[in-house]
Amino acid sequence: MSLTERQQYYLQKMGVDVYVAKGGKQETTVRIVPSTATVAFAREDDQKAWDDLRARVAACTECELHKGRIQTVFGVGNVRAEWLIIGEAPGAEEDKQGEPFVGRAGKLLNSMLRAIGLQREQVFIANILKCRPPENRDPKPEEVACCEAYLKQQIEMIKPKIILAVGRIAAQNLLKIDTPIGKMRGLRYEYPGSNIPVVVTYHPAYLLRSPREKRKAWQDLQHAMRVYTEIK
């Protein structure tokens, strides 16, 4: 399917130019995912499991990060999502609002998702860490270890068809590897202990600082769509 005007609009919002070949045919193609409303819980037990996990995260004092937080950032979105987006850790605005990927980086992530036919409400968005590290420093291994069980349980309950890891820190911690992000791009990994495919791309905050890399991010999204289509 050729690029739609809607896709072109969101690619322009991302800062990615779309080139049209001679004859009017766009050089980039992608499958559009139909829009769906947020899925309700299938059983009351599902709601309770999510409520219990959210409460455990909110009360967590397993590492020193709890001392400086305003609130935990549990995650947001469709608990029956086929796409799970995983980032690094909350920033200052996320810490204030209790929601991942807000502000400029969040708006760019929304545009990235819309470029492949997804609404923010269709996916689930979470982070490796549930609390903000001071001064937005990199997470420490012991902090990641303390949060790992929460993220693992989220993945087990969501049962996503694909995970999109955004940023080096998210990808390396999720996959338990130290490969540079440039070498992870374009590959298909699997979440450890499962057959859930993981695709890696740049973090929106990095793309805001390095706009020339946005075209690479678009290539990553196309790759993710191909992986997703293959497993459907």
Domain that holds residue 208: 5-231
Cα–Cα distance measured from residue 232 to residue 40, given in angstroms and rounded to the nearest whole number: 21
Tens of pLDDT along the chain (232 residues) come to 455 666 666 566 566 655 444 555 444 444 444 444 444 555 667 889 999 999 999 999 999 999 999 999 999 999 999 999 999 999 999 999 999 999 999 999 999 999 999 999 999 999 999 999 999 899 999 999 999 999 999 999 999 999 999 999 999 999 999 999 999 999 999 999 999 999 999 999 999 999 999 999 999 999 999 999 998 6
Angle at 25 between CA 23 and CA 28, to 5 degrees: 150
Rg (CA), the chain: 18
Residues 6+ positions from 2 with CB-CB distance below 8 Å:
25, 26, 29
- pTM exceeding the 0.75 threshold for the entire prediction: yes
CATH number of the domain where residue 36 is located: 3.40.470.10
Number of separate domains in the chain: 1
Angle at 231 between CA 225 and CA 232, to 5 degrees: 85
Look at residues 24, 36, 22, 28 and name the one whose alpha carbon lies nearest to residue 3: 28
Cα–Cα distance measured from residue 153 to residue 151, given in angstroms and rounded to the nearest whole number: 5
